[in-house]
Amino acid sequence: MPNLKRNNKLTTMKFQQAVLLTVCLAATVAMEGCAVPRTPPQFPDAASASPAGGTFVNVANLRNVKAGLNKDQLYDLIGPPQFHEWFVGNHVWNYLFDFRRGDQVVSCQYQVQFDKNMRVSATYWRDPQCAEFVREAAAPAAAATPAGNETKAAPIEQFTIEGEALFPFAKSGLDSMLPGGRAQLDAAMARIRAQADTTRIDVVGHTDRIGSDESNRALSQARAQTVKRYLVAHGIDAGRIRADGVGPAQPVSDCPPGETPAVIACLQKDRRVTISVYGRN
């Protein structure tokens, strides 16, 4: 009998805990309001952001937020929402981003809305003028070219080489380059040499979203530098080549979340090296 009473007591306690958890979850949803898209958008009180006061965002990543991204892709670009909207079912994520204007820090509320398939359908700024902070990020690149050596707005030649064609998995060295990738690079160099007025060549390495941002950026940078060394070794002026790695920051695929073999195959387009050739006006 004592054991039976003890078992009944444990069962009652577990039931009470389950009821309490259900009530707490229901209260949370009631307080946070399982957010749904509204037009015009409704923004939460900025004082309720976590972390308080907002956070500085990677502007280059923010510029890549487009309609059609799923929640995993959005998370990879700009992180989780900052207004307790992380639970399943929310169709709205809100952010409080900080930007620098001279010596001042300006905070801006940003909202992302999702459609019924949980893909980005629209984005909004509480203050429309905040969009200028994102547009301004592209200006320095255009102004960086010395006077008298301006480049066209668009490249005169552009090449994309798939990562798997160029390097084995996780490799980036010159001695590990695959024959198929070398052949594509040789064909690209022939086209580049045919351009008489080339002023700049941008080599950019890219990765997919799988793995840490730090390791992906390092791998993409190493591969871009290897491609640059290959071009220089075959007669392309090193002073005209810029090599950079952006990791997973500029995806071109539209793949579901997860890391299954099917998803990894879908992400192949993101694992690439691009070569953009610019010339005089």
pLDDT in tens, 183-224: 999 999 899 888 878 899 999 999 999 888 888 899 999 999
Q: Which helix (H) or strand (E) holds 186?
A: helix 179-193
What's the token pair of residue 235?
């007669």
Cβ-count burial of 208 within 10 angstroms (0-12 exposed, 13-18 middle, 19+ buried)?
A: buried
Domains of the chain: 46-138 (3.30.1450), 145-279 (3.30.1330.60)
Count helices and strands in the chain by DSSP H and E runs: 9, 8
3-state secondary structure of 114: strand
More confident residue, 266 or 196: 266
- Give the closest residue to 223 by CA, choosing from 268, 161, 180: 161
pLDDT of residue 151: 41
pLDDT, tens digit (0-9, with 9 covering 90-100), for 63-120: 888 888 898 888 888 988 998 876 667 899 999 999 888 888 899 999 999 999 999 9
The percentage of residues in the chain with a pLDDT greater than 90, rounded to a whole number, is 27
pLDDT at site 35: 65
Give the pLDDT score at 10: 47
Q: Which two tokens stand for residue 126?
A: 């509480």
Provide the pLDDT for residue 148: 42
List the structure tokens of 274. Answer: 């691009």
Question: What pTM did the predictor assign?
Answer: 0.47
Distances (CA, A) of 58 to 65, 80, 187, 250: 11, 13, 35, 12
The answer to which of 139-148, 165-174, 252-261 has the lowest mean pLDDT is 139-148
In whole angstroms, what is the distance from residue 15 CA to residue 262 CA?
Answer: 41
Q: What is the mean pLDDT of the chain?
A: 80
Q: In what order do the strands lie in the sheet with 92-101?
A: 55-56, 92-101, 104-114, 120-125
Residue 250 CB neighbours (<10 A)? 18
